[in-house]
Amino acid sequence: MSASVAVIMGSRSDLPILEGAFKMLDRFGVSYTARVLSAHRTPVEAAEFASGAEAAGYKVIICAAGMAAHLGGVFAAHTVLPVIGIPVASEPFNALDSLLSFVQMPPGIPVATVTAGKAGGKNAALYAISILALGDAKLREALKAFRKEQADAVLKADAELQTELKKD
């Protein structure tokens, strides 16, 4: 079985940002491939991977990159698959530069953008899962159950807080 999601990092140093993505994809049983490809240092290889992603069976591409963060744009320019960008914090702009690179794509070449940093890895995976769930009822139900778990945890925390506040 081929992987559904390609997870691309511009540098191996981006790996900690993607750990949450891997955990979330594993939790939902979504197959993925992870690669290190750079828009600037391996432009030919990045373009070739992006151009062949659909034929290889991928459905969604996640790109994590810092600094100029052109990785998502390069991938989006070479495929019609959905591309999700994760801005990675780097000096000296603390992810602002990469965020702007992702959200300022020219008309016609979209890159969806999620939260910067580690939460971005988790959110990118959940976004990819929601895209895949459009055509997979089992995955959609699992995503609904996950959302309910999150809501239940917040409501439990609220109930505990209310109980603590009434002790006075």
Each residue's pLDDT tens digit, 117-163? 899 999 999 999 999 999 999 999 999 999 999 999 999 999 999 99
Please state, as a whole number, how many other Cβ atoms lie within 10 Å of the Cβ of residue 124. Answer: 30
Whether residues 124 and 153 fall in one domain: no
What's the pLDDT at 168?
A: 61
Whether residues 164 and 143 fall in one domain: yes
The CATH number given to whatever domain includes residue 85 is: 3.40.50.1970
Q: What percent of the chain has pLDDT over 90?
A: 80
Whether residues 153 and 91 fall in one domain: no
Query: Which residue segment(s) compose the domain that 156 sits in?
Result: 137-168
Whether residues 126 and 155 fall in one domain: no
Q: How far is CA 143 from the centre of its chain?
A: 16
Whether residues 153 and 98 fall in one domain: no
Asked whether the beta carbons of 125 and 115 are under 8 A apart, the reply is: no
Say how many domains are in the chain: 2
Whether residues 69 and 122 fall in one domain: yes
Instruction: Taking residues 101-123, report their average pLDDT.
Output: 91
